[in-house]
Amino acid sequence: MHMLSSVMLHVMYQIANASVRAFPFPHIYVEEVFPPEFYADLRRNLPPTDSYVRLIDVAGKVSNEYSASRLVLYPRDDHYARMPEATRQFWRDAFKTFLAEEFGQVILSKFAQAILPRFAKPGDDRPPPIQAMSEILLVRDLASYALGPHSDSPSKLVSLLFYMPEDDSRPHLGTALYMPKDRRFTCPGGPHYKFDKFDHVATMPYCPNTLFAFPKTTTSFHGVQPLPAGASDRDLLQYDLRRTKIPATDAPLPGGQPRA
């Protein structure tokens, strides 16, 4: 079996069998999400910072008000060209493997209970098929990065954040979960809110080889706490399922299954 196929079976097993935490919104936190030897490969192949581009400079992704401290690399020819030649093929293979239809099906199934009610109409016996597509990117957040509480874009179905630190000395750099002080408040998605309007519930530990994943809901408020001076950068592999076509390289699969 191809090495990456074996890796993805491990990842799918870990995710499919993880316990869903219901509060303050559905989510999972998975340890040892990759086989240890593959996690070491991920770390060894992380590109240098000057290979990345600012997310705000990638057309059609975020508004100009978004933080300039989030750096990214997408599976695009112009982004592969920025990577060192020695690591370029590794990321081509890794991205292609993650964007396989089978992986997207596992993710949709895992969070179906939270996703499907978004599309149900009164009187329907069951929700219509979901037109979904997958997206993956490497992320490097610089030390100055912070992100106010938000519930994600309405186009988002599920987000997976694979944490990739060198060691477990910086758990506070993980994604924070929030509840609005006005417990009745919900948001269909889009705006980023001020921290003082929300209660900080928990922070998913930014530890090696872990995953934080959650479906987009009207109460899935999350963000990144402002970090103290001297805080270090953080590395992530981010995988999203969306309802709409975003990168030109992505294409919807008939029947509502995700693919790249």
CATH number at residue 78: 2.60.120.620
Q: Among residues 147, 171, 154, 142, which one has the least CA distance to residue 235?
A: 142
> Is 253 inside a domain boundary?
no
- Supply the pLDDT for residue 246: 38
Asked which of 17-31, 39-53, 110-124 is least confident by mean pLDDT, the reply is: 110-124
- Residue 20, judged by CB atoms within 10 A of its CB (0-12, 13-18, 19+), counts as middle
Cα→Cα distances 42→114, 166, 191, Å: 31, 11, 33
| Residue located via tokens 């016996």 | 125
What sign has the CA pseudo-torsion 43, 201, 72, 159?
A: positive
For residue 143, name the pLDDT band (cuts at 50, 70, 90).
confident
> Is 16 inside a domain boundary?
yes
Asked which of 66-80, 120-134, 193-207 is least confident by mean pLDDT, the reply is: 120-134
> Is 252 inside a domain boundary?
no
- Supply the pLDDT for residue 148: 93
> Is 254 inside a domain boundary?
no
> Is 250 inside a domain boundary?
no
Domain count of the fold of the chain = 1
pTM for the model stands at 0.89
- Supply the pLDDT for residue 230: 65
Give me the mean pLDDT over the 175-190 stretch.
96
What contacts 249, CB < 8 A, 6 or more positions away? 75, 76, 260
Given a cut of 90, whether residue 72 has pLDDT beyond it is: yes
> Is 49 inside a domain boundary?
yes
Q: Among residues 43, 46, 48, 66, which one has the least CA distance to residue 56?
A: 66
> Is 258 inside a domain boundary?
no
Given a cut of 90, whether residue 249 has pLDDT beyond it is: no
> Is 255 inside a domain boundary?
no
- Residue 216, judged by CB atoms within 10 A of its CB (0-12, 13-18, 19+), counts as buried
For 116-135, write each residue's pLDDT tens digit.
Answer: 888 877 777 666 677 789 99
| Residue located via tokens 């209970």 | 113
- Supply the pLDDT for residue 254: 30
Range of the domain at 65: 3-117+127-242
